[in-house]
Amino acid sequence: MNTLVVGSDPALKATFHSRRYGSDGWLDSYEVDLDAIDFRASVKVQNPGYGHPPAQLFNEMAANWRGWQGKKSWVAMDGELEIEATADAIGHVTLKITIPGYESMQLWSAQARLLLEAGQLERLAEDAEIFFAKRDA
């Protein structure tokens, strides 16, 4: 799997792509695009071996597909990408994906709110496990 697409609305989605691996086979970095009509924001996300990719968040969401209280969140080790998930009582999950801008300059930022159905969570978690997995030697 070369890409991981999050969101079922073709007018608004997040695409994880362009994986780069270290010599040990672990994922070093990847890119994320937020796409909407007439808009795109992109960021390269570092994935150090001592951190954890967002697959853990997607697995947690799938395990709690009936919903949860409050927010579940994930932030890249260097802060270049943030994901926050909330659920309602009728099976909808809202993912807020934020590219907060770069370092202290904060000249721009981008944010997308993607609506997911509870029935999509298991497949999303499975796809995320594949996308973020160690590359076979």
Q: Please enumerate in sequence order all residues whose Cβ is within 8 A of that of 14, keeping only pairs 6 or more positions apart, or say none.
A: 5, 6, 7, 32, 33, 34, 35, 95, 97, 112, 114
The answer to whether residue 24 sits within a structural domain is: yes
| Per-residue tokens: 127 | 């796809």
The answer to whether residue 120 sits within a structural domain is: yes
| Per-residue tokens: 9 | 């609305």
The answer to whether residue 102 sits within a structural domain is: yes
Question: Is residue 61's pLDDT more than 60?
Answer: yes
Q: Report residue 81's pLDDT band, with 50, 70 and 90 as the boundaries.
A: very high
The answer to whether residue 136 sits within a structural domain is: no
Euclidean distance between CA atoms 131 and 30, whole angstroms: 10
Position 21 scores a pLDDT of 93
Position 50 scores a pLDDT of 75
Residue 81 belongs to domain with CATH number: 2.30.31
- Show the domain range for 101: 4-131
Instruction: Report the number of distinct structural domains present in the chain.
Output: 1
The answer to whether residue 47 sits within a structural domain is: yes
* Span 85-129, pLDDT tens digits: 999 988 899 999 999 976 666 678 899 999 999 999 999 999 999
**Alpha helix segments (H runs only) across 18-64:** 55-63
- Separation of CA 62 from chain center: 14
Question: Is residue 137's pLDDT more than 60?
Answer: no
Percent above pLDDT 70 for the chain = 96
Report the predicted TM-score, pTM, of the whole model to 2 decimal places: 0.91
Question: Is residue 1's pLDDT more than 90?
Answer: no
